[in-house]
Amino acid sequence: MIIYGVTLLAVCTLTGITAGKILGTLIGVPANVGGVGIAMILLILAGSYLNKRGLIDVKTEQGVEFWSAIYIPVVVAMAAKQNVMGALTGGPMAITAGITAVICGFALVPMLARIGQDKAEETEKTASQATSA
C-alpha cells in the first residue's frame, strides 16, 4: 500500500530531525545537527534492508517516490518565498561577500574532487565494466 511508503518516509524524517535536534542541544548549538542527513541515512538503510527481505512492493515504493518527485516543485516554491529584495538591498558589501563566498566554493570543487580520485576512478571502471558486461 502506498501509505506504507509514506509512513516509512515520515518515520525516518521525524526520527532523523529529532536526533539532529537532540544532538544540537547536547553540544549546545541552536541548530539542527544534520537532522535531514540522519533521516536520509535511516531511509537508505531501512529501504535496502526491507528490499533484501522482499518486504517492499511497488506500491510501497510509490509512496516514497511521489515525494521524491514532488521535490522540484517544493524547491520552486521555496525559491518563491525567499527574501530576494532583502538580499539585493543589503548593499554592495553584502552582495560582494556573498558572491566571493560562492566563487571560492565553486573553485574548490575540482580541487577537492582530485583528492582520492585514483581510487574513485578504479571503482568507476569496475562499475562501468559491470554495466557493460
Cell 518486504, residue? 55
By CB under 8 A, the count of residues binding other proteins is 80
Residues in 108-127 that interact with other proteins by CB under 8 A: 108-110, 112-113, 115-116, 119-120, 123
CB 8 within 8 A of CB 46: yes
**Which of residues 116 and 132 has its CB atom nearest to other proteins in the complex?**
116
Residues in 21-60 that interact with other proteins by CB under 8 A: 24, 27, 29-41, 43-44, 47-48
The only residue of 1, 3, 22, 74 in contact with other proteins, by rule CB under 8 A: 74
For 59, the grid coordinates are 506500491
| Cα angle value 22/27/29 (rounded, 5°) | 85
DSSP state, residue 31: S
